[in-house]
């Protein structure tokens, strides 16, 4: 059996189809993210704030299901390719129903979402790479998705806001059930290098949302000193995020204790949301089109999501470093909160970036610590 598991996880890297798959999903996320870019009288509508995490979670979970399947069972067969391309087409079509008017087309949205989930369930159940006991695991995953799809589909029967709650419950059920069935010792181990690579590739595309926000904002600004400072600061923040995130990738892909990958991929839900929220923080700082209080909330939530998503995996698998991780994170959050009190949002963006700089410098010390190697393969 060990030889079978070894076969399943050897030499696994992202395929060209997976890269294509990521592009389609990021385009959908871009539509969802753009909701936070719209302001009404210098405020973000509460409906936009509620719709953003709901739709983001829905899209992210489809990407996660497909990625987890590909990590263990993908053979790059014609069946897998056709199924993946079908999901991509359905995602592109479903994107037309995303946005603030989602509930006007909720039935169509749920219909497309259910079909996508059923296709992914079929991939698990019909997997030809799953051998012996791992076949039983793949079948259980497919059944979990089918049950979750039934719960998600039932949300159409309820009025607002119970249908959104039912939708989230269906996804959360699948998330929890996947973790439970993956605790069995016969489950094939996750291919860490491939999973980290997939997450990293998706993250770099999501980080591109910040670049898009920066460039589009520069087209609409009145060029003055504060706007230029905000633009420069925004790019510095993007650069620091890239540095701090990818500088420690070699640690994530070599963590001994990480077997099923759920801590990594679930924590990256918050990291991904942090990326796209901060993209809008930079945009609003350059355009100066957002109320100070709304900007404060957006900046604090975005940075907290980033720090939590970034640090969770190290907190879980590197016990001796938990105290400095918590202290450094709290200091960065404190700097972020303090910065948002400044009288102008351009100044606030500078303060938030200083907090990120402190975080980056602290990471240099962390990645150079020899004690980390004790927890790596």
Burial of 9 (0-12, 13-18, 19+ CB in 10 A): middle
Strand, coil or helix: what is 376?
A: strand
CA distances from 245 to 18, 137, 205, 271 (A): 21, 32, 13, 10
The alpha carbon of residue 64 and the mean position of all alpha carbons in its chain are separated, in whole angstroms, by 9
Q: Are 80 and 74 in contact (CB under 8 A)?
A: yes
Tell me, what's the pLDDT at 4?
Answer: 40
Q: Residue 85 corresponds to which tokens in the numbers above?
A: 């391309």
Which pTM does this prediction carry? 0.88
pLDDT tens readout for residues 198-235:
998 888 888 887 787 778 777 777 777 888 888 889 89
pLDDT classification of 12: cutoffs 50, 70, 90: low
Strand, coil or helix: what is 52?
A: helix
Mean pLDDT lowest for which of 11-25, 298-312, 334-348? 11-25
DSSP H helix total and E strand total for the chain? 14, 0
Q: Are 87 and 116 in contact (CB under 8 A)?
A: yes
Greater model confidence, 127 or 263: 263
pLDDT classification of 283: cutoffs 50, 70, 90: confident
Domain boundaries, the chain: 15-183, 192-375
Q: Are 70 and 202 in contact (CB under 8 A)?
A: no
Average pLDDT over the chain, rounded to whole? Answer: 84
Q: Are 21 and 84 in contact (CB under 8 A)?
A: yes
* Residue position matching structure tokens 């949302």: 209
pLDDT tens readout for residues 147-160:
999 999 999 888 88
First to last CA, the chain: 21
């Amino acid at each position: 059996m060990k030889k079978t598991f070894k076969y399943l996880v050897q030499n696994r890297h992202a395929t060209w189809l997976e890269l294509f798959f990521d592009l389609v999903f990021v385009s959908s996320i871009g539509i969802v993210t753009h909701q936070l870019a719209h302001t009404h009288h210098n405020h973000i509508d509460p409906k936009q704030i509620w719709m953003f995490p709901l739709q983001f979670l829905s899209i992210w979970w489809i990407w996660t299901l497909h990625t987890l399947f590909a990590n263990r069972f993908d053979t790059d067969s014609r069946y897998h390719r056709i199924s993946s391309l079908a999901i991509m087409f359905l995602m592109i079509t479903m994107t037309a129903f995303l946005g603030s008017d989602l509930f006007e087309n909720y039935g169509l949205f749920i219909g497309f979402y259910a079909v996508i989930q059923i296709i992914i369930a079929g991939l698990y159940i019909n997997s030809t790479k799953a051998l012996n006991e791992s076949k039983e695991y793949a079948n259980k995953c497919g059944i979990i998705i089918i049950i979750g799809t039934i719960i998600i589909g039932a949300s159409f029967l309820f009025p607002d806001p119970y249908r959104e709650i039912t939708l989230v419950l269906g996804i959360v059920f699948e998330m929890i059930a996947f973790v439970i069935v993956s605790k069995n010792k016969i489950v094939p181990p996750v291919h860490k290098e491939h999973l980290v690579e997939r997450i990293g590739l998706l993250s770099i595309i999501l980080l591109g949302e910040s670049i898009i926000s920066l460039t589009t904002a520069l087209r609409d600004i009145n060029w003055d000193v504060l706007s230029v400072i905000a633009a420069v600061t925004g790019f510095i923040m993007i650069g620091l995020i890239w540095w701090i995130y990818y500088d420690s990738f070699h640690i994530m892909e070599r963590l001994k204790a990480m077997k099923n990958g759920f801590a990594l991929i679930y924590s990256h839900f918050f990291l991904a949301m942090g990326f796209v929220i901060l993209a809008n923080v930079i945009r609003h700082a350059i355009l100066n089109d957002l109320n100070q209080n709304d900007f404060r909330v957006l900046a604090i939530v975005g940075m907290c999501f980033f720090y939590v998503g970034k640090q969770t995996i190290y907190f879980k698998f590197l016990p001796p470093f938990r105290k400095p991780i918590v202290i450094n994170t709290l200091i960065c959050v404190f700097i972020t909160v303090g910065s948002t009190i400044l009288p102008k949002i351009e100044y606030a963006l500078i303060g938030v970036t200083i907090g990120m700089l402190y975080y980056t410098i602290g990471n240099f010390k962390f990645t150079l610590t020899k004690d980390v190697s004790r927890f790596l393969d």
